[in-house]
Structure 1
Amino acid sequence: MAWLYLALAGMFEIGWAVGLKFTQGFTRVVPTIATVLAMAISLGFLGLALKSLPLGTAYAIWTGIGTVGTVLFGVLILGEPASAARLGCIMLIVAGIGGLKLLS
């Protein structure tokens, strides 16, 4: 169950990271509320995952899911650059997440 909590925490981290873009410096009410709510949910799920997963592993995977998901959102939805070097670095993060999962 801890891994499911961690995956959900990562998904909500993507949500709040993307949400920050749309708050326009916390000046737009609805995106700000949605972003803060996603932050709280993400941290809540991370806390549940930490009941049984090692801190370093859980935190690295949580931030990795958030990083990879946010970059993919930026590339696929916002038209941000997708150079080979940038995508290669993202693949290294994915490999690190996979390695941590296998070793835990």
Structure 2
Amino acid sequence: MAWLVLVLSGLLETTWAIALDRSQGFSRPIPSVIFAVTAIGSVVGLGYALREIPVGTGYAVWVGIGAVGTAAVGMIALGESTNLPRLLCLLLVIAGVIGLKIFS
């Protein structure tokens, strides 16, 4: 259960990062509210998951999911560059997250 909550919290991290960008410095109310709600949910979920998962592993997986998810949304939906080196770097992050899960 802790791993499922951790993954969902990582996805919420992606959501709050995109909402933060879309809030334009908290000048737009709807993205600002989405940011606040998902940021709180993400951190609460991380805290819950860390009851069973070691902090180093849990935090790294949480950040990795958020970073890869945010970069993917940026590339797919926001027109950011999708060149080969960027994609390879994201694959390295994914490999690290999988490795942490396997060896924890």
Query: If the TM-score is normalised by the length of the shorter chain, which range does it land in?
Result: over 0.9
Cα RMSD of the aligned pairs, angstroms, is 0.5
User: C-alpha separation between the residues in 1 aligned to 2:75 and 2:30?
Assistant: 24
User: C-alpha separation between the residues in 1 aligned to 2:33 and 2:78?
Assistant: 21
1:80 corresponding residue in structure 2: 80
Report the AA paired with residue 101 of structure 2: K
Structure 1: runs of 5 or more not aligned: none
Aligned residues: 104
1:21 corresponding residue in structure 2: 21
Percent of aligned pairs sharing the same letter: 45
Q: How does 1:1-104 map to 2 (within 5 A)?
A: 1-104=1-104
Structure 2: runs of 5 or more not aligned: none
User: C-alpha separation between the residues in 2 aligned to 1:70 and 1:18?
Assistant: 7
TM-score, normalised with respect to structure 1 = 0.98
TM superposition outliers: structure 1 runs of 4+ over 4 Å: none
Report the AA paired with residue 99 of structure 2: G
